[in-house]
Amino acid sequence: MANVRVERTDEGGFRATNGRGAEVRIGGGDEDGVFSPVELLLAAVGGCNIVTVEPLTAQRGHRLVRLEMTVQAEKVEANKLGPVTLTYDVELPSEAADEVFRAVAGRVHAKYCTVSRSLEEGTEVRLELP
């Protein structure tokens, strides 16, 4: 089960923490040094894909020289995103690596990235109040 805690800090900002001690600062889109909630959603989609693609490609004998990704989405309404676009930027060690990378990235996106699949299939979000 995934679990994070989001809280207001004494300084008036916000942070998300997990049980392993990681922390991410959260704020509005106009604040320096913090991620907005939408940016965190995009980072989650990109992170889920890229951290799954990298080891699977390497296990098939093709360690990529460079592996980066840009994740973008536009708001289609004041409080709703349109399609999320993942754009890889890779440097491949060989032509054979290109075929493996494309196959792995496609499968990860279609089947194995929990975040992408949850967004595409419309995971229910429940609110529990005290």
Q: Is the whole-model pTM more than 0.85? A: yes
17 beta partners: 5, 23
Q: What is the pLDDT of residues 15-70, one digit of tens each?
A: 999 999 999 999 987 889 999 999 999 999 999 999 999 999 999 999 999 999 99
Chain segment 66-98, per-residue pLDDT in tens: 999 999 999 999 999 999 999 999 999 999 999
Q: What is the DSSP string of 28-90?
A: -TT-TT-B-HHHHHHHHHHHHHHHHHHHHHHHTT---SEEEEEEEEEEEETTEEEEEEEEEEE
